[in-house]
Amino acid sequence: MFIVFARIEDDKNITGFIFEKDQVEGLTLNPEETKLGIRSSSTRQVFYNKVKVHKSAILGARGEGFKIAMNALNVGRIKLSVAVTGAAKKAINYAVGYANERKQFKVPIASFGAIQYKLAEMATKTYVADAGNYRAGQNIEDHIARLENEGLSPQEAKLKGVEEYAIECAILKVFGSEVIQYATDEAVQIYGGMGFSAESAVEAFYRDARISRIYEGTNEINRLLLVKMILKKAMTGEIDMMTPAKSVVKELMSIPSFNAPSDAFFAQEKSVLQNLKKTILMVAGTAAQKLGDKLATEQEVTMNIANMIIEVYMLESALLKTEKLVLKDGAEMHDEKISICLNYLHHAVEEIRKNGKEALFAILEGDEQKMLLMGLKRFTKVQAVNLKEHRRNIAKKIIEENKYCFN
């Protein structure tokens, strides 16, 4: 079965077609490719030599191929994120299982701090990815239900429902694919020399993970795309970026607040999150103002902004999920998940600070640069915590359970 997108005559837009190979003439296939990973899947070149198809092969309506293709990508991106997050959990299971069995100096290597660090980081990133997947998935389902209640057909509601969350789908694709890359790499490292053997359980995991950053749109394309989509929504008035951006600039000129945060659960962390959002507004707003249309060609700056957006969305997802669990069951029941959130919070702050600094270095000079760098420092302040102990807390639970256990 083939799904192909092509232009009919002089149509402005492309059209989708669906047909089986034996229904057409002139279609030839090259031999199967020998690939680095996902070797059980079919990958081969397809050649069309004056292929004619019947009009009944049109997929959807004439000229609507681009919309179909884009929505297929949106769905594919969140599905990919869910799939690779599940694979990351399995990679952790293999890694901790091996770490508990493999003994060095008469003790399991799982008892060593360096191994516990790896397990905790793998689990942290996987938990955060899971939180983002469930958040976006529920948002999409809720939006589809609203559209159906407004009178749209189920098919149209699904198309528009997913399209509304195209930015989130791009974020999750990037994040999830980089989580599986990290998790499988660390799993091989925990296995040591055995992990490099084709006979080990994690060798194929490592190879198969690599394609995740390439298909459904490379991570570079998705990063550029998500910033472009946000700016487009701002230009069309769908979202208001200018008002909060101006508010952030005004705040930079004022004296910082020294009010103590409330004692509500995650109050301190939510305050940090709000400041990280201000950082994005400050950097993205400055980039848009200084570069204008040239921002599209300044891809390094766009990538910096994308990285900041991804970190904020994923951090917020993890905090929201954990907050719900704690309010339902109590903090003691989810102690390790709280450690995960604190561990990731500090990671996100560092990533946002680094990317914000790089972007400001690229677009500003002199006093203006100094002022916004001071703003960046102000908005990326975070309370010091003992991350080593939080990571050990996370790893202890995984080692005891001998598997990933933070669903």
Residues 233, 241: Cα–Cα separation, whole Å = 9
Of 253, 301, 259, nearest in space to 280 by CA: 301
Task: Tell which residue, 278, 280, 286, 282, has the closest CA to residue 307.
Answer: 280
216 belongs to the catalytic site: yes
Q: Are 351 and 174 in contact (CB under 8 A)?
A: no
Residues in the chain: 407
53: its two tokens: 């198809």
Q: Which two tokens stand for residue 378?
A: 């102000």
d(C-alpha 344, C-alpha 318), whole Å = 9
Catalytic residue among 121, 178, 203, 216: 216
CB within 8 Å of 401: residues ≥ 6 apart: none
Report the alpha-carbon distance of residue 277 to residue 275 in Å, rounded: 5
Does residue 99 contact residue 123 with C-beta atoms inside 8 Å? no
In angstroms, how far is CA 365 from the centroid of its own chain? 32
| Residue 94 Cα distances to 120, 121, 389, 398, 403, angstroms | 14, 15, 24, 12, 8
Q: What angle do CA 361, 367, 372 make, to 5 degrees?
A: 55
Reading the block at residue 341, the tokens are 């959130």
Q: What is the DSSP letter of 332?
A: G
E strands within 255-359?
none
| 240, two tokens | 């208001």
What residues contact residue 294 under an 8 Å CB cut-off, 6+ apart? none
Q: What's the rounded Cα separation, in Å, for the pair 13 and 193?
A: 53
Q: Alpha-carbon distance 223 to 228, whole Å?
A: 9
Q: How many CA atoms lie within 13 A of 117 on its CB side?
A: 6
Nearest to 121 by CA among 84, 101, 95: 95
Q: Which residues contact 267 (CB under 8 A, 6 or more apart)?
A: 261
**Which of the residues are catalytic?**
216
